Amino acid sequence: MTLRQSTDPTSPGAPLLEVRDISKTFSMARSAREFFTGKPPQRLRALRNVSLAVAPGEILGVVGESGCGKSTLGRCLAGLEVPEQGELLWQGQRLHAKGDRKLRARSIQMVFQDPYASLNPRMSLGQMLEEALAVHQLGGSAAARRDRVDELLLMVGLTPKLRDRLPHAISGGQRQRISIARALAVEPRLLIADEPVSALDASVQAQIINLLEELREKLNIGMIFIAHDLNVVRHISDRIAVMYLGEVVETAETEALFAQPMHPYTHGLLAAIPQPDPRKRTRAPSIEGELPDPLNPPAGCSFSTRCPHMTPDCCSQRPALPAGVGSHPVRCIYPLTFKPSV
Ligand SMILES: Nc1ncnc2c1ncn2[C@@H]1O[C@H](COP(=O)(O)OP(=O)(O)O)[C@@H](O)[C@H]1O
Ligand SMILES: [Mg+2]
């Protein structure tokens, strides 16, 4: 794995995409009683003051438990959701929700967890890829478009002979390869892969991860690789952002995050990774307790209800994620500085 330039928003290298302090809430459906009594709908805070950046050719892993806001973040970046607060900058230029739709559609593409749900079951693989080119007036003449489809199939490790197959007639791994080919059709600069391997068998997971890594090398494409499992993002990511209850709680280069996790939540995630070698097992507890109700989050630090190092301050003060203090910001009043044996 090659480490790319630092994407700390304060570093001099220009990021491809920069996320500055975005927040997003969803309005919850009201019951009939609430509706008739005029009670305002409750708002669920899916993202809270999220800041991060990704450089050209860099893979940023985003990891956290189910419901922590990973997909909402991906959807905000791709323009499928609009954050209420904060801004997104594409190569230093502010992205606008409406006006920059075309730029985003060409520059940022998403790959989803379930390739079957995102592919049209009645269209052949070739037709789907041709359609992706046609939507953006790419590929030129019919013959040139056909050649480009073959090229895309080869790029994702599939034989062009599969072009007439329907999605149900190929394997899950091949379907995810087609989703990736479709995303690559418009030559995006940034790929957001939202749990792209979570629905696949372990051996196929590794193949898809290798493919994404190869594509990054070949195309110098930036990626945001979302997963709920820290082990899955480890091998592909240059840097990792750890999310908890809608917040980024720690961001660091992958090696640094594994060698010296500073947030108690990250430490708990690392402790939960099974270690076959007993000498390498850590005595740190894995995370206990339930994820708090996102409609009723803790007042101070969002992790305070489950943190083994919680102090009274943690229940009243919300820690900031400091910007510009090196490449390992952590949202904790008392960041852990010990070196765990994981
Ligand atoms: N369209 C929506 N309407 C209401 N709540 C939503 C919507 N999308 C996501 N949420 C809520 O926002 C939170 C974050 O969801 P999500 O981004 O899907 O998390 P993740 O991808 O990490 O599992 C969850 O509590 C989820 O229930
Ligand atoms: Mg998700």
CATH of the domain at 209: 3.40.50.300
- Partners of 90 in beta bridges: 17, 93
Residue 37: inside a domain: no
Residue nearest to atom 12 of ligand 1 (CA): 46
Query: What DSSP line would sit under 247-286, residue for residue?
Result: EEEEEEEHHHHHHS--SHHHHHHHHTS--SSGGG---SPP
Residue 337: inside a domain: no
**DSSP assigned state of 342:** -
Residue 112: inside a domain: yes
pLDDT confidence of residue 283:
55
Residue 339: inside a domain: no
Q: Please give the Cα distance from 186 to 139 (Å, whole number).
A: 9
CA of 143 to the centre of ligand 1 (A): 43
> Which of 24, 25, 26, 233 is the best mutation target for the ligand 1 pocket, counting ligand atoms within 8 Å of the beta carbon and taking the most?
26
Residue 153: inside a domain: no
CB of 232 closer than 8 Å to CB of 197: yes
CA of 138 to the centre of ligand 1 (A): 34
pLDDT tens for the chain, 342 residues: list them: 444 444 444 344 579 999 999 999 999 876 777 778 777 778 899 999 999 999 999 999 999 999 999 999 999 999 999 999 999 999 999 988 766 788 888 899 999 998 788 899 999 999 999 999 998 888 788 899 999 999 999 999 999 999 999 999 999 999 999 999 999 999 999 999 999 999 999 989 999 999 999 999 999 999 999 999 999 999 999 999 999 999 999 999 999 999 999 999 999 999 888 776 666 655 556 788 888 999 999 999 999 999 999 999 999 999 988 765 457 999 999 887 654 444
Residue 69: inside a domain: yes
Residues in the ligand 1 pocket, defined by CB under 6 Å: 26, 44, 46, 64, 66-72, 294
Task: Report the half-sphere exposure of 201 (CA within 13 A, side-chain side).
Answer: 6
Q: Supply the angle between the helices 125-135 and 142-155 in degrees, to the nearest 10.
A: 110
Residue nearest to atom 1 of ligand 1 (CA): 26
Reduced to 3 states, what is the DSSP secondary structure of residue 122? coil
Closest by CA to 248, choosing from 52, 37, 20, 42, is 52
Number of separate domains in the chain: 1
Residue 334: inside a domain: no
CB of 177 closer than 8 Å to CB of 116: no
Q: Please give the Cα distance from 284 to 272 (Å, whole number).
A: 9
Reduced to 3 states, what is the DSSP secondary structure of residue 212? helix
Burial of residue 166, with CB atoms counted within 10 A of its CB: 0-12 exposed, 13-18 middle, 19 or more buried? middle
Domain extent at residue 203: 17-28+42-122+166-316
Residue 127: inside a domain: no
Residue nearest to atom 2 of ligand 1 (CA): 26
